[in-house]
Each structure stands twice: as C-alpha cells, then as structure tokens.
Amino acid sequence: MDGINAVVPVEDFMAQLKAHDLVIMNRGEVTDSSARERVKLNEMAQKTKTPTKFPLQKELLDILKRFLPLHSVYVISIQKEKQQQEIFLSPIATIPQKLVIYTLFIITHKPIFKKLEDIMDHVYNKMQQRCKIYAILYTMSTVKKKLDFGDNFLSRAIFQPPCMYKKDDALSEFINYSCLFDQRIYKRILESWKARMDRAEYLFSIIDNIEYKEDATSRLFIIHNGIEQTCLALLYVFWEYKPQHYSLSYLLHLCGQFSQLPQTIFPKKTYGLHRMYYKLCNAQDTIRFKTQNECSLGDANKAYNRCKRFYEQAKKLGEEQLVYLKELHCKPSE
C-alpha cells in the first residue's frame, strides 16, 4: 500500500539493524547528550500519575469485547466535550450533551475483516452517540513479530500510554525493549517525508496551474489527495506510523495528537466551516459515486486556500521534527 520505501522490506531492515552496530536506548542509556535529556523528560512524564479509570469505560469495553476478539486497549488520548442546548419554545428545556472522544490503540487475537470505519461507527451508535473512538488496530501476532524485530511506534504506543484493558501479560517480555536509534532509521524517515511531501506539492501545483475550464468536484478531489499525503508524511515523521486506514478525517484526527495544526486550519465552529470540512473529507466518495457537482468553484477555492496553509505549516513542522530526529539518530557517540 505504501510503495515509497520498497527498497528493503521492514522486517529485513530491522533485522539488519539488530545484527549490526545499532545504537539502542535502554532506560535512558543513550550515547548522545541531547538525546539523553529528552529521554529524561520522557521518563519523568511516564512517572506522573496516569488514570486507572476512564469515562464510560465499562460500557465501551463491553461493546468492544462483543464486537472484537479483544486482547488489550491502550488510551493514546481522551477528549471530553460538554455542550448545553437551551430550548425557549415550549416545552422549554435545557438539554446537557456530553461526548467522550477516545484515540485507542487496540490489539486483537485474530484479524478483523470488518472495515475500521464500520467498527468505529458501530461503537458510536451503540454508545448512543455519547462516545466516539478513533482506533488503531493490530493483531497480537503482528505486534509480537514487529516488536521482536524492533518497532519504535509499537514500543511507544503499547508501553507509554495507560492501559484501559488487557486480557493477560503476553507482551510483558517486550517491556524492556527500547526504541531504536540509528542513521539508517533517520534516512528511512527522511526519504518517506520527502516522497510524501513531494507528492503533496505536485498535487497542489496542479491546482495552481489548472485550466480555466475546470470541475469543482475534481478540484476538491485533488486537494483531498494533497492533504492526505501531507498527513501521511506527518504521521511517519512524528510517530513512524503508516496507517492502514486512509479516511482523511481519521488521518487529520491522528495528526491532531501531536499538533494543533488540524484544529487550527480546519475549525468546525460554524456551519460554513463544517460544510467545507465535510465536503473536503468526502471528496473521494463524491467523485466516485455522484455525477453532479455538490460544491461550487468558490467552495473549492476556499478549501484550497486552507489546505495550502495546512501544507505550508505542516512542512515547517515536519522539518523542525527532522532536525530533532537527526540529532537523535545521527550524532556520534561521546
């Protein structure tokens, strides 16, 4: 699905790293002084009190257990939204509305053949729209295989966030496995970043040079793909993660876990902004299944202006992260 790093398979690459002179972080044992400072900060953060109970936890787990062959659930983030609707036409009433939004890393015993989007929608509906989840799903066999070779994303996603539920301690053997730091890892991240951002730049350049006779739906579809490539670039440079689910709203949400950029560029506080966001995220389905334009060129141009800002600011954000990663992976040992 991701053909930009096809030179060496992931498993072979990580095996090579383990077989050679790889710099490994062991509980703060890092060769670079700047990296050591960052590790100390991370350890301090991990020692802070983490929650053991979560809103709607029992109901959510009951649904997940019925729907999935569940092994464990880790809470990457939780967001609580409170709203209040006041009705002044009789019967007068005040209706409080609460929504809990989870970003979860979920491990299952067996592969799931349902679409991730269907799973997330199922939970939202079963929870009567009181709880929404954005899930990252892995099977236990895949997790063990990748952790054994070395996978920085999985090491962080499993052993840093609080655990909402786990059936057993099957992954305890990996708890002392550490993140991998090496020039070859940095090179791989850099190559992925450049490939994704070059694609995004090309897609936006098409919009800049498009002919006068243009189709608004096609224009929005190109913009959609440009933002998708930008999100994939950010996710790999910050998390070293390649999503298997490519819904744009899902990708933007995940990017919102390490940056406020999606919320800043794509606020949904007014009807117009919410409509533009909806059209942008659904541009792929619109061009596939509908023949009539549902947005005007004006709508597409507004979306383009925001998306170009997102791309430009994401580029700065990613380049800053690459400077840090280069320092972490490429500095000579002391």
Same domain, 148 and 237: no
User: Is residue 4 assigned to a domain?
Assistant: no
Same domain, 172 and 39: yes
User: Is residue 13 assigned to a domain?
Assistant: no
Same domain, 30 and 73: yes
Domain boundary among 180, 201, 225: 180
Same domain, 267 and 301: yes
Same domain, 169 and 191: no
pLDDT digits (tens, 9 = 90+) for 128-139: 999 999 999 999
Same domain, 173 and 219: no
SS3 of residue 96 by DSSP: strand
pTM above 0.75, yes or no: yes
Same domain, 166 and 240: no
What is the pLDDT of the chain when averaged over all its residues?
84
291 or 32, higher pLDDT: 291
User: Is residue 15 assigned to a domain?
Assistant: no
With vertex at residue 142, the alpha carbon angle to CA 140 and CA 145, rounded to the nearest 5 degrees, is 110
Number of domains in the chain: 2
User: Is residue 6 assigned to a domain?
Assistant: no
Confidence of residue 30 (pLDDT cuts 50, 70, 90): very low
Confidence of residue 246 (pLDDT cuts 50, 70, 90): confident
pLDDT digits (tens, 9 = 90+) for 161-174: 999 999 999 999 99
Same domain, 159 and 233: no
Which domain covers residue 60, as residue numbers?
24-180
Same domain, 28 and 172: yes
Q: Quote the pLDDT of residue 158.
A: 95
Question: Which of these, 52, 85, 63, 71, lies nearest to 131 by C-alpha position?
Answer: 63
Confidence of residue 11 (pLDDT cuts 50, 70, 90): very low
pLDDT digits (tens, 9 = 90+) for 34-76: 444 444 445 444 444 566 789 999 999 999 999 999 999 999 9
48 or 202, higher pLDDT: 202
Confidence of residue 215 (pLDDT cuts 50, 70, 90): confident
Q: How many CB atoms lie within 10 A of CB 229?
A: 22
Same domain, 186 and 325: yes
Question: Could you please report the per-residue DSSP string of 9-64?
Answer: -HHHHHHHHHHS--EE-BTTB-SSHHHHHHHHHHHHHHHS---S--TTHHHHHHHH
User: Is residue 256 assigned to a domain?
Assistant: yes
Question: Which of these, 107, 136, 308, 123, lies nearest to 207 by C-alpha position?
Answer: 308
Domain boundary among 180, 199, 217: 180
User: Is residue 9 assigned to a domain?
Assistant: no
Identify the CATH number of the domain in which residue 323 sits. Answer: 1.20.120.330
Residue 99, strand partner residues? 81
Same domain, 258 and 273: yes
User: Is residue 319 assigned to a domain?
Assistant: yes
Same domain, 107 and 120: yes
Domain boundary among 180, 199, 230: 180
User: Is residue 36 assigned to a domain?
Assistant: yes
pLDDT at 286 over 70: yes
